[in-house]
Amino acid sequence: VKAQLVIPAAGMGRRLDAPLPKALVRIVDAPLLVHTLRRFQTVNLTGPTLVLYPEGWRETFEAELAAHDLVERVELVVGGAERQDSVRIGIEALDAATEVVAVHDAARPFVSPVSVRHCLEEAYEYSAATVAIPAVDTILQVSEDGFLEHTPDRARMWACQTPQAFRVDAIRAAHEAAERAGHTATDDASLIRWHGGSVKIVMGTAHNIKVTTPADLTLAEMWLKDNVTCIE
Ligand code: C5P
């Protein structure tokens, strides 16, 4: 199977309050993006990994990739205004021979390579798959004026993670339809569902957090120093 990786890394990370794009924020020895790319070194991918970067930051991204010996495996593509735009641009830039694409947030440097492989296999079989974990907290649906509306059964609630993987034709069609309809979603598996497709759920790991807030950075630093996720 010809599988290629797309990494949306074009976010500015406003919730981190850093003066540079989130993907470039340093943790221990390297930027967040570099840690994330390292997790894919043992995954069998064909074609370069497409990294979507924020406009104006190409040189800095190039320099970081070069400093960490990753230039050969990576192709930089300028991203879009929203995450969905960045992913769509990445999908349009895939090699013609690519059959399955994995989309993984630059902000998730602790992903388990085992769940990546599993997600790619399930996407090949079912056309779309996402890594997710069962919700630990009870999820509340809240009205706009701040009152509890509805409490869905926790046993069926899962927290969405990445990677998400897709047959290329399926995700392309979903993105094109979404663009025409002006429909937006915070992840790509949900776009497939909106477009009428089904999505297989793949069990993720609790370590696969999305580094979003300063508190997440502190946690990420501790985990990297302790090598806590190397066993997964
Ligand atoms: O903002 P959030 O943490 O949800 O972003 C998830 C991922 O999408 C991040 O890796 C971020 O860099 C990426 N992103 C992007 N293009 C945007 C906004 C976010 O590639 N315009």
- The pLDDT tens digits of the residues spanning 179-211 come to 999 999 999 999 999 999 999 999 999 999 999
pLDDT for the residue 232:
63
Q: Please give the pLDDT value at position 192.
A: 98
**What is the CA(163)–ligand 1 centre distance, in A?**
13
pLDDT, one tens digit per residue, over 207-224 is: 999 999 999 999 999 999
* CA terminus-to-terminus distance, the chain: 24
* pTM of this structure: 0.96
CA pair distance 14, 22, nearest whole angstrom:
8
For the stretch 3-52, pLDDT in tens is 999 999 999 988 888 889 999 999 999 999 999 999 999 999 999 999 99
- Does residue 47's CB lie within 6 angstroms of at least one atom of ligand 1? no
**Confidence category of residue 87, pLDDT binned at 50, 70, 90:** very high
Ligand 1 centroid, distance to 165 Cα (angstroms): 17
Helix axes 83-92, 168-181, angle to 10 degrees: 130
Mean pLDDT across the stretch 176-180?
A: 98
Residue 130 pLDDT greater than 90, yes or no: yes
Concatenate the DSSP letters of all residues of 152-188 into one string. Answer: --GGG-EEEEEEEEEEHHHHHHHHHHHHHHT---SSH
Strands 49-53 and 26-27: unpaired
Q: Model confidence over 57-77: pLDDT tens digits? A: 999 999 999 999 999 999 999
| Among 105, 110, 210, 217, residue to substitute to test ligand 1 (most atoms within 8 Å of Cβ) | 105
